Amino acid sequence: MLEGAKPLVSAMSSIIFTNLFIEVALIYGMHPGDTVAVETKTQTYQGIVMPSVDKKVFVLKLESGYNLALERKKITKIKVVQAYNSVEKASSSSVSPKKGLKNVAILHTGGTLASKVSYQTGGVVAKFTPEELISMFPELPKIINTTPRLIRNMFSEDLNFNHYNLLAEEVAKEIKNKVDGIIITHGTDTLHFTAAALAFSLEHLSIPVILVGAQRSSDRGSSDASLNLLCAAQFIAQTNFIGVGICMHETTDDLAGIILPATKTRKMHTSRRDAFKAINSQPWARVSRTGEITIITKFHDPPKAAFTVKPFNPDLKIGLLKSHPHLQKEELAAYKNFDGLVLEGTGFGHFPINNIDEFTKENTTILKTIETLAKKLPVVMSSQCLSGKIDLDVYETGRKLQEAGVVGNSSDMTPETTFIKLAWLVSNHPKECKELLTKNLRGEISERQPYQQD
Q: Which of 102, 180, 189, 219 is catalytic?
A: 189
Give me the pLDDT at residue 34, please.
Answer: 84
Give me the pLDDT at residue 133, please.
Answer: 62
Domains of the chain as residue ranges with CATH: 8-82 (2.30.30.520), 104-309 (3.40.50.1170), 318-436 (3.40.50.40)
Mark whether 189 is an active-site residue. yes
Q: Helix count (H) and strand count (E) of the chain?
A: 11, 22
Residues of the chain with pLDDT under 70: 1-29, 53, 64-66, 86-95, 111-134, 217-222, 449-454
| Dist CA 324 CA 326 (whole Å) | 6
Mark whether 54 is an active-site residue. no
Contacts of 453 (CB under 8 A, 6+ apart): none
Mark whether 267 is an active-site residue. yes
Give me the pLDDT at residue 123, please.
Answer: 58
Q: CB atoms < 10 A from the CB of 331, how many?
A: 14
CA atoms within 13 A on the CB side of 148: 29
Mark whether 412 is an active-site residue. no
Give me the pLDDT at residue 323, please.
Answer: 98
| Dist CA 98 CA 141 (whole Å) | 8
> CB–CB of 319/341 below 8 Å?
yes
Nearest to 279 by CA among 271, 288, 287, 268: 268
At 252-289, the pLDDT tens digits run 988 999 999 999 999 999 989 999 999 999 999 999 99
Q: Which of 6, 61, 267, 434 is catalytic?
A: 267
Q: Which of 146, 185, 188, 369 is catalytic?
A: 188
Give me the pLDDT at residue 6, please.
Answer: 37
| Dist CA 123 CA 114 (whole Å) | 14
* Residue ranges of E strands in 135-174: 149-150
Give me the pLDDT at residue 96, please.
Answer: 78
Q: Using only C-alpha atoms, what is the Rg of the chain?
A: 26
> CB–CB of 38/70 below 8 Å?
yes
Q: Which of 35, 112, 369, 414 is catalytic?
A: 112
